[in-house]
Amino acid sequence: MHTNMIVTFCTASVLGGALIAGSVFAKSEEKTMSDSWITAKTKIAMFADSRVKGSDISVATTDGAVTIRGKVDNDQAKQAAEGIAKGIDGAKTVKNDLQVVAPSKREAVDDKDDTITARVNEQIAKDSQLKNAGIKAQTNAGVVSLTGEVADLPTSAQASWSAWQVPGVKSVKNDLTVKPKA
């Protein structure tokens, strides 16, 4: 009988430990899924809305903070996109980085933006401090957005300075995060 109680206790302990480990895994998985899910729901909602051209807008979500970037035809579309993003369940905040660019000028702006992005990436690749930092550049109407994670604040400042040196850059948005020191 004593052996039976030990086996029962051990089985309960193993199952309890598995349940706890499973719930911890589910919690970490839930955070990742939640941001991905918010991004997907936002993209679908924008694509379905006739006021907004969803394919011209990129959506990124980090810890429930939604960032929308891209080009729209007018201020009404920009505000509609922001309203759609704010209405998504789980979206805590919305950063609206959309640029208003008339359709007639969009092709010229897109070509120019692609060229600026390529030049910024070349500039970053030439800089020994920045080339392996994992910095991503994106340009919308001459505004360069830098994203990624860097080792320290001087590296972040250097990335902004390098981007500013590229011809055609109107401004630089430094959205780089600094890695916490371990």
For the ranges 52-61, 92-101, 106-115, 138-147, which has the lowest average pLDDT? 106-115
Task: Please state which CATH number belongs to domain 33-100.
Answer: 3.30.1340.30
The pLDDT, as a whole number, for residue 117 is 92
- Residue 102: phi and psi, rounded to 5, are -60, 145
Task: Using pLDDT thresholds of 50, 70 and 90, give the confidence band for residue 21.
Answer: very low
User: Could you give the CA distance from residue 28 to residue 16 in angstroms, rounded to a whole number?
Assistant: 19
Q: Is 14 left (phi over 0), alpha (psi -120 to 50) or beta?
A: alpha
Task: Using pLDDT thresholds of 50, 70 and 90, give the confidence band for residue 120.
Answer: very high
Q: For the chain, how big is the Rg over CA atoms in Å?
A: 23
Strands (E) across 8-81 are located at 57-62, 65-72
Q: Mean pLDDT across the stretch 137-158?
A: 88
Domain extents in the chain: 33-100, 103-178
Q: Mean pLDDT across the stretch 86-98?
A: 91
For domain 103-178, the CATH class is alpha beta
Q: Are 33-100 and 103-178 the same fold in CATH? A: yes
Q: Mean pLDDT across the stretch 137-144?
A: 87
Residue 87 DSSP code: T
The pLDDT, as a whole number, for residue 7 is 44
Q: Mean pLDDT across the stretch 139-146?
A: 87
The two beta strands, 143-150 and 136-140, are antiparallel
Grouping H, G, I as helix, E, B as strand and the rest as coil, residue 160 is helix
Q: Mean pLDDT across the stretch 127-150?
A: 87
- Express as a percent the part of the chain with pLDDT over 90: 20
For the ranges 11-20, 33-42, 127-136, which has the lowest average pLDDT? 11-20
User: Could you give the CA distance from residue 81 to residue 58 in angstroms, rounded to a whole number?
Assistant: 11
